[in-house]
């Protein structure tokens, strides 16, 4: 087990500085343009691929970093540059993690490289779970996958929504119901290979923030995929379903939900994105407060402004510590007995919303315009309390974990 430390090691510092350079030199200068265009910033993704940031190798290296800090450090730096562009760069990772978590070695080796493409022909991937009537309430999912034994194919029908990269992705990972009797335990994940007939993009959403990231509906109309596209394989699925049916027969006794453990491990990454956005806005506000003069002195000379900045920085550092703790716990296989992953996502995302709003206030009229980036950062920050589980759902998970009660 890697020893706990509050400091990044030399190698990590080097990677962090390299990422920061890319965020400062390539991402940040492009942020306003792609926010206005509301389009996927393909040239920036390509640039990231050329230098090795948009690549399976880099992502895997950070994912398996034995301290657990590789992914949070990466997220913080890229999202410091710009949240919309950074999500376009890391969005593929959501689908890749879906395959890493549930796929066989063969599936991992076949599909994850295709999700990224290569520097001359970059691709993105999408993870499609949410539906119009199944957001927080994942168990009410309706997309149905039915096995056609004669052809060894799965037939998938349904409508997914809010999919990051949905429809523009090569590979889509789709969660569907295989046994409606079992609620969320009757779900399975499928690879939909590029250009599969029946998969189409529905409406593309015009959003409040992270506008450089493509978000759309994905329609699945009699999509047929080979049996080999079921993540984990048929035997493992049959065994899992048999266990779930047995548990249901025993009166639905509480079983440890593997999906919950996966969420606890992935949520700190979203917390780290929020820390990146919050830190970016705080830095702009600090700089502005030290240079903007009113009443013959810099506005930071007023306690009313200085104390806000002190609170902002304190909350950002506290958020990062919660994120690092949960990430360290995840890589070391520590049980999340107090839902520490959810805690980190809850605190960091709420902090980003608050800090970016305070940054607008400190910049006064300028903060309210698109001449300065804090207005965009505030719009972007609002997503962190919504996706990967809303703040209310994080509180629900934490309260249930702490109390053991089925709090509703
Ligand atoms: C930009 C963007 C990108 C996204 N990317 C993806 C993606 O790539 N893949 C994917 O599958 N999904 C994605 N999502 C979906 C996202 O995860 C959902 O929006 C989120 O889970 C919330 O679901 P919902 O929007 O249906 O809200 P709802 O579940 O309808 O919630 C509405 C409100 O009710 C509250 N609420 C609901 N239930 C409870 C409860 N029990 N107790 C207290 N409050 C409750 C919620 O907290 C929220 O405030 C994305 C969403 C957005 C906006």
Q: Is 127 in the pocket of ligand 1 (CB under 6 A)?
A: yes
Of the candidates 405, 406, 313, which has an alpha carbon nearest to the alpha carbon of residue 359?
313
- DSSP for 337-402, written as a single string: TT-HHHHHHHHHHHHHHHHHHHHHHHTHHHHTSTTSTHHHHHHHHGGGGTTTS-HHHHHHHHHHHH
Spacing, Cα 101 to ligand 1 middle (Å): 22
Of the candidates 126, 204, 137, 207, which has an alpha carbon nearest to the alpha carbon of residue 382?
207
Q: Is 128 in the pocket of ligand 1 (CB under 6 A)?
A: yes
7, 38, 388, 392: the catalytic one is 388
Biggest CA pair distance of the chain: 82
The reported pLDDT for the residue numbered 2 is 61
Q: Is 382 in the pocket of ligand 1 (CB under 6 A)?
A: no
Neighbours of 57 (CB within 10 A): 10
Residue closest by Cα to atom 24 of ligand 1: 135
The reported pLDDT for the residue numbered 4 is 62
Q: Is 270 in the pocket of ligand 1 (CB under 6 A)?
A: no
Helical spans, DSSP H, in 184-302: 234-249, 258-291
Decide: 77 and 19 in contact? Cβ < 8 Å.
yes
pLDDT tens track, the chain, 408 positions: 666 678 899 999 999 999 999 999 999 999 999 999 999 999 999 999 999 999 999 999 999 999 999 999 999 999 999 999 999 999 999 999 999 989 999 999 999 999 999 999 999 999 999 999 999 999 999 999 999 999 999 999 999 999 999 999 999 999 999 999 999 999 999 999 999 999 999 999 999 999 999 999 999 999 999 999 999 999 999 999 999 999 988 875 454 556 677 788 889 999 999 999 999 999 999 999 999 999 999 999 999 999 999 999 999 999 999 999 999 999 999 999 999 999 999 999 999 999 999 999 999 999 999 999 999 999 999 999 999 999 999 999 999 999 999 998
Is the C-alpha dihedral spanning 177, 183, 185, 186 positive or negative?
A: negative
Work out whether strand 126-128 and strand 172-177 pair parallel, antiparallel, or are unpaired: parallel
Residue closest by Cα to atom 26 of ligand 1: 135
Residue 388 tokens read as 């990967």
CA distance 326 to 331: 9
**Residue 340 annotated in active site:** no
Residue 367 tokens read as 């903060």
């Amino acid at each position: 087990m890697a020893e706990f430390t509050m400091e990044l090691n030399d190698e990590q510092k080097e990677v962090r500085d390299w990422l920061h350079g890319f965020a400062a030199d390539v991402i940040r200068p492009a942020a306003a343009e792609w926010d206005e265009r509301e389009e996927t910033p393909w040239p920036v993704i390509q640039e990231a691929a050329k230098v090795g940031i948009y690549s399976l190798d880099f992502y895997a290296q950070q994912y398996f970093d034995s301290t657990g800090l590789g992914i949070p450090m990466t997220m913080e730096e890229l999202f410091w540059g710009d949240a919309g562009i950074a999500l376009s760069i890391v969005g593929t990772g959501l689908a890749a993690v879906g395959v890493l978590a549930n796929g066989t070695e063969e599936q991992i080796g076949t599909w994850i490289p295709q999700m990224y493409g290569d520097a001359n022909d970059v691709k993105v991937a999408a993870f499609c779970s949410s539906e119009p009537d199944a957001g927080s309430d994942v168990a009410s999912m309706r997309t149905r996958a039915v096995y056609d034994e004669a052809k060894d194919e799965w037939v998938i029908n349904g409508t997914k929504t809010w999919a990051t990269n949905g429809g523009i992705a090569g590979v889509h990972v789709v969660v569907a119901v295989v046994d409606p009797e079992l609620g969320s335990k009757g779900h399975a994940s499928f690879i939909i290979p590029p250009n599969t007939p029946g998969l189409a993009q529905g409406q593309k959403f015009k959003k409040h923030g992270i506008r450089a990231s493509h978000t759309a509906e994905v329609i699945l109309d009699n999509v047929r995929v080979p049996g080999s596209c079921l993540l984990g394989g048929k035997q493992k699925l049959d065994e899992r379903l048999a266990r779930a049916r047995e548990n249901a027969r025993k009166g639905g006794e509480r079983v440890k939900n593997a999906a919950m453990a996966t969420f606890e491990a992935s949520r700190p990454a979203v917390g780290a994105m929020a820390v990146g956005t919050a830190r970016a806005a705080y830095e702009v506000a600090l700089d502005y407060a030290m240079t903007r003069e009113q009443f013959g002195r810099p506005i930071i000379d007023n306690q009313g402004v200085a104390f806000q900045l002190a609170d902002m920085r304190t909350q950002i550092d506290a958020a990062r510590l919660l994120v690092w703790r949960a990430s360290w716990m995840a890589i070391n296989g520590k049980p999340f007995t107090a839902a520490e992953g959810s805690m980190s996502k809850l605190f960091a995302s709420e902090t980003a919303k608050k800090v970016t709003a305070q940054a607008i206030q400190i910049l006064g009229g300028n903060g309210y315009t698109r001449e300065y980036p804090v207005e965009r950062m505030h719009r972007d920050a609002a997503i962190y309390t919504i996706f990967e589980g809303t703040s209310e759902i994080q509180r629900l998970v934490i309260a249930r974990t702490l109390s053991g009660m089925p709090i509703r």
